[in-house]
Chain A
Amino acid sequence: MSKHKQILLTNVNQPDQHLIEHAIKRGAYERLQKALSLDPLKVIEEVKASQLRGRGGAGFPTGMKWGFVPRDSGKPVYLINNADESEPGTFKDRVLLERDPHLVIEGMLCAAWALQSEWSCIYVRGEYAFPYVRVQRAIEQAYEKGFLGDNVCGSGWKHHMVIHRGAGAYICGEETALLESLEGRKGQPRLKPPFPAVAGYYGCPTVINNVETLSNIPWIIDNGGEAYAAIGVENSTGTKLVSASGHLNTPGVFEVEMGYPLLEFIEQECGGVRDGNALMGVIPGGSSVNVLTAEECEGVRLDYDSLKNAGSSLGCAGFMVMDETTDPIEAVLSLSRFYSHESCGQCTPCREGAHWIEKIFARIARGEGQPGDLELIENLCDQIGGHTICAFGDTMILPYRSFVRKFRQQFRERITQVLKGGESTRNPIDFEIGMH
């Protein structure tokens, strides 16, 4: 049992929490009743006061996002719950969807009330087959109990909810690509402006929030925005779900208060690095952030500002730990393979650059690196970053750049060792080009 305040994971270990009768016994949907008694604008005020920031990775203030939605456009407002949790190293939303789906639905309903939206959708990634079944069943139960439908809880307010399964593309977690996918087209990000808050789903005002963000809303309504803002540290309020994986003794999903020291988190929550090995590095925010070496982790706390100052980012807290046995070249190759596979192929720099970089990493890893390769990679990163429609290109290059910079010695050795006629340690068959 964690010593941290539990907002989201309170009930996830109850084996029957996904059944609505048991969830109601533990207080589910009570906060919804309270929200319905409040003015919608008051709900937005509370969320603004809580200083809740989006948990999907960008960390944009949720209340402010809701405030962008025009209230007099004459068009319906849509709420989309982004459950396309595809960032490598992230699996926190899955826990909520599987184990406490009613918390997610309640959070969505509270948000929908604040936005006066009559239709919402959960966009769940295609690979999440079991969470899909659980949430689908939970929605049906909520309809049966009158929490969803033409008359929500007898308030006269109408709200309908559907769940949509993606087809398994990473880019569909990007909000405009998600909208394209939801509208039945190929999942490719849109040009902005217009932003979804003004013209999103079928050209109507649309709010897209992460599962974890929305799951925080019931607690904020119950306890008030001030109480939420009191948790955590300045600029990073509340708690954060961390998906800890990699070379840890007890990996898993943990709820910690913002500002928790990073190394203490590894020791206290995750049982320390496996086999008592030394730490090589941590990717703290899901793969699309800069890697931190063991030295850089000293004194760093798990919150937006501290990680930013350390040169990385909290992202969506996909916390990946690598011990001293890790080969950084292979680690980054694995990431580059992911990105080149998932680049949507819309913009030239990302489409071509992602593959080029992957092929260079693969070449270095199998012992055919050339002098100048590292400089070429860094140069390509400059060519991709900032030159694409969406943030995929901007963030893809962060691990590449930081791995090459921070583990340059290992890269150099691999390149020169082979040039000297040394034998490559890799089995070349694993690294056939174009294996995807």
Chain B
Amino acid sequence: MSEAQSQSEKPPMVTATIDGQEVTVPKGTNIIEAAKSVEVEIPFYCYHPHLSVPGNCRICQVEVEGAPKLMIGCHTQLTDGMVVKTHKTSELVQKTQASTMELLLINHPLDCTVCDQAGHCKLQDYHFEYNAKPSRFLEYKQNKPKAVPLGSTVMLDGERCIACTRCVRFCDEVTETGEIGLMNRGDRYLISVKEGKELENPLSGTVVDLCPVGALTHRDWRFNTRIWYANPTDSVCTGCSTGCNAKVFERDGQVVQVKARLNSAVNKEWLCDEGRYGFDRFLPRERVLTSSVKGEATSWEEALAKVTPLKNGKTLLLLAPDLTVEEYSLVEAFRERCLQEDSQAVVAYRSRELSRVEEILVSPDYAPNFQGAYFSQERLRPNGAVCESAHREEREQAYENALREVKENTFDNIVFVGDRAVCDQDLADMELLQAISRTPFTLGMLCDREGALYENCTVVLPARSILEKSGLFLNGKFRLQYVDRVVPLAEGAFQHWKIFGEIAASFGKPIVDARSDRDLTLSYLGAEPRVAGITIRQVKNGGIDLLTYVPAQEGESGESSNVEVSKSSE
């Protein structure tokens, strides 16, 4: 009992001084993290908050009063009364950091002009910040193998490596596949795959993110762009319901690189290869950019005039699992106001099998926002006691029932909201496709011209891909996050919520008054009591766990702070 109590209690706090500022952190926090909390940035290469601490790069050294020599910030835990001086106040630390930078660079090839890492390289950044002096090294550099494929996804440049061993520790400690190791001694060190192995695991691309320099690069994306020509966007991967935080680089409408973003509550700093290298798989090559009726291209107005059958008859709304929370809630409004009472809205959900390594990160589905659909439909506050797997079974059951009813032709109308409104494996089901084509009226809000749904819809309205939309997503564990648009808009395609709004307006029952995704999100956050008080900035910065979130009461600052955010960013 007492043990359980002590576990539930908060860890004891320690108070110390860093650069003259008082800092109070939980016991066991290292100096790097403690300094971060008072906005002192201590440089580091080998340290990673979610990997073991090897303490080998030696750039994070700080002065601790009373210690005989400099201490490394990654391994030294803050203790009560400790007086720490970083490079901001200690000349000795400055000198040491400059010296470490000089030593790190003596054998580095300095081929920044052709290196993919240039522009987001910690060697460049830290050299500029902490040394910025020409080298005194007159000797020959060590030569090592270059352009060595470690596996199908990752390429190694041995000379650029600084032996921080982050990649090795990732494969040893996280995936536990242990494909790579640091071979040889001294400055002959070389990262290499172990004999008879290749770097092949479902998270292999993560080692490139972890590499602070240009030693490891993506084979898919090598030499495709200088990073400063690409536009970065902080978004969330929509492959499954884990909701991994990613930074997506776009250039000329193409995704040119995807990096993981650190979010300790979601994906740490890992990304799976499927999500990373397939980030643009939701951006079809052949786009639907005009409306069409029975395969004939028409104007938007003409197509809109053809959707009147929805007013009557039993309608099934099959929802893609990658609509935003706002859209799901709007679909509910649409269903209630514009459709017959016995109409249904069902989100496409199929579970999937995962391998051991995938289980570390990937969720057993392809449905990034199925909880968002649940959240909008059930109108309950999410309850931690409701088992996640029970939820999943419920979704899958509802989806399977809906498909069975489709096959039995009980619906007069079917609306496919999004290309993922029917799961891939069901699209191979000929019986289902025939049943769909027998249905009197089918409407598709699609963006893929080559998809099976496109051919089977009576009316097709051009919709945007998830990469062209922004809005709220609720991951499998009820964390509210923000998916941001990463590629420029395709001319002629509309967000799903806009299409619903237009249809409702044409029925004379307007349901939405927003001009942009952002407007919609703000009005949703302002109107929905269960998320009252949440700002866009909060959901963008790590997200909000709705299981523990206590909504602001009416009249509290929620709405006004949203207005503030919207002003400041515009």
Interface residues of A (CB under 8 A from B): 169, 171, 186, 191, 340-349, 351-356, 359-360, 363, 370, 376, 383, 386-389, 433-434, 436
Q: Which of A342, A352, A389, A436 contacts B104 (CB 8 A)?
A: A352
Shortest C-beta distance, B239 to chain A (Å), equals 36
What 1/0 flags go to B85-123 for Cβ under 8 Å of A?
Answer: 000000000001001101110110000000000000000
CB neighbours (8 Å) of B55 from chain A are 191, 347, 389
24 contacts between A and B (CB under 8 A): A186-B181, A191-B54, A343-B185, A343-B186, A344-B186, A345-B182, A345-B188, A348-B104, A348-B162, A348-B163, A349-B58, A349-B103, A351-B186, A352-B103, A355-B107, A355-B187, A359-B139, A359-B140, A360-B139, A370-B138, A383-B103, A386-B69, A387-B96, A433-B140
Report which of A342, A349, A356 forms a contact with B185, defined as CB distance below 8 A: A342
Closest Cβ–Cβ distance, residue A123 to chain B (whole Å)? 18
Residue of B nearest to A170 (CB): B185
What CA separation (Å) do A436 and B104 show in the bound complex?
Answer: 21
Give the contacting residue for B163; candidates A351, A360, A386, A433; CB below 8 A: A351
Contact B53 A353, beta carbon cutoff 8 Å: no
Chain B residues, Cβ within 8 Å of A186: 181-182
* With known contacts A352-B104, A353-B103, A356-B103, A346–B187 Cβ distance under 8 A: no
Contact B186 A345 (CB under 8 A): yes
B75: CB under 8 A from chain A? Answer: yes
Q: A191-B55, A349-B58, A389-B56 are in contact. Are A340 and B103 (CB under 8 A)?
A: no
Min CB gap A217→B, angstroms: 31
Give the distance in Å from the alpha carbon of A340 to the alpha carbon of B107 in the complex: 14
Q: Interface on B for A, CB 8 Å cutoff?
A: 53-59, 61, 69-70, 75, 96, 99-100, 102-104, 106-107, 136-140, 142, 162-163, 181-182, 184-189
Q: How far is the CB of A210 from chain B (nearest CB, A)?
A: 23
A-B contacts besides A169-B185, A191-B53, A359-B140, 15 pairs, CB < 8 Å: A171-B185, A186-B182, A341-B185, A345-B182, A345-B184, A345-B185, A346-B54, A348-B57, A348-B100, A351-B186, A356-B106, A356-B139, A363-B138, A383-B100, A386-B69
Whether the pair A347, B139 counts as a contact (CB closer than 8 A) is no
CB closest chain-A residue, reference B183: A186
A344 to B54, CA, bound (A): 14
B139 with A433: CB separation less than 8 A: yes
Select from chain B the residue with minimum beta-carbon distance to A373.
Answer: B138
Once the chains bind, are B187 and A352 in contact (CB under 8 Å)?
yes
Q: Contact between A349 and B186 (Cβ–Cβ < 8 Å)?
A: no
* Closest chain A residue, CB of each to CB of B108: A352
Question: Which of B59, B139, B140, B182 lies at the interface centre, i.e. has the most chain A CB atoms within 10 A of its CB?
Answer: B139
Most chain B CB within 10 A, of A186, A353, A355, A386, is at: A355
Q: Which residues of chain A are near B104, meaning CB under 8 Å?
A: 348, 352
- The reply to whether B139 and A345 contact each other, CB–CB distance below 8 Å, is no
Contacts A352-B107, A383-B103 given; indicate if A191 touches B75 (C-beta within 8 A): yes
Q: Would you call A349 and B139 a contact (CB within 8 A)? A: no
Contact B185 A347 (CB under 8 A): no
Take A348-B56, A352-B106, A376-B136 as given contacts and tell me if A341 and B70 are in contact as well, using a CB distance cutoff of 8 Å. no
Question: CB-CB < 8 A to B162: which residues of A?
Answer: 348
How far in angstroms is the closest Cβ of chain B from A419? 15
Closest 5 CB pairs of A and B: A383-B99, A359-B139, A352-B103, A386-B69, A343-B186
How far in angstroms is the closest Cβ of chain B from A42? 35
Within the complex, the shortest CB–CB distance from B351 to chain A, in Å, comes to: 40
Q: Which of A345, A353, A376 has the most CB of B within 10 A?
A: A345
Compute how far the CA of A158 lies from the CA of B69 in the bound complex, rounded to whole angstroms. 43
B140 to chain A: closest CB distance in Å?
5
List the B residue with the shortest CB-CB distance to A344.
B185
Nearest CB to that of A187 among chain B residues? B185
- Identify the interface centre among B99, B100, B184: most chain A CB within 10 Å of its CB: B99
**Complex: A165 Cα to B58 Cα, angstroms:** 31
Q: Are B186 and A342 in contact (CB under 8 A)?
A: yes
- Distance A359 CA – B187 CA, assembled complex (angstroms): 12
| With contact pairs A353-B103, A434-B142 given, residues A386 and B182 touching in the complex (Cβ less than 8 Å) | no
Contacts of B59 in A (CB 8 A): 348
- Within the complex, the shortest CB–CB distance from B441 to chain A, in Å, comes to 67
Q: Which of A341, A383, A386, A387 contacts B186 (CB 8 A)?
A: A341
A121 CB to closest chain B CB, in angstroms? 23
Q: Is A345 within 8 A of B187, CB to CB? A: yes
B161 CB to closest chain A CB (Å) equals 11
Chain B CB count within 10 A is highest, among A186, A352, A389, for A352
Cα of A433 to Cα of B56 in the assembled complex, Å: 26
In the complex formed, the residue of A with least CB distance to B52 is A191
Contacts of B181 in A (CB 8 A): 186
Do A356 and B56 touch across chains, with their CB atoms under 8 A apart?
Answer: no
Which of chain B's residues have a CB closer than 8 A to the CB of A169? 185
B163, closest chain A residue (CB): A345
B136 partner residues in chain A, CB cutoff 8 A: 376
CB B71 to nearest CB in A, in angstroms, measures 11
Residues of A within 8 A of B186 (CB): 340-345, 351, 354-355
Least Cβ–Cβ distance between A129 and chain B, in angstroms: 22
Smallest Cβ-Cβ distance to B57: which chain A residue: A348
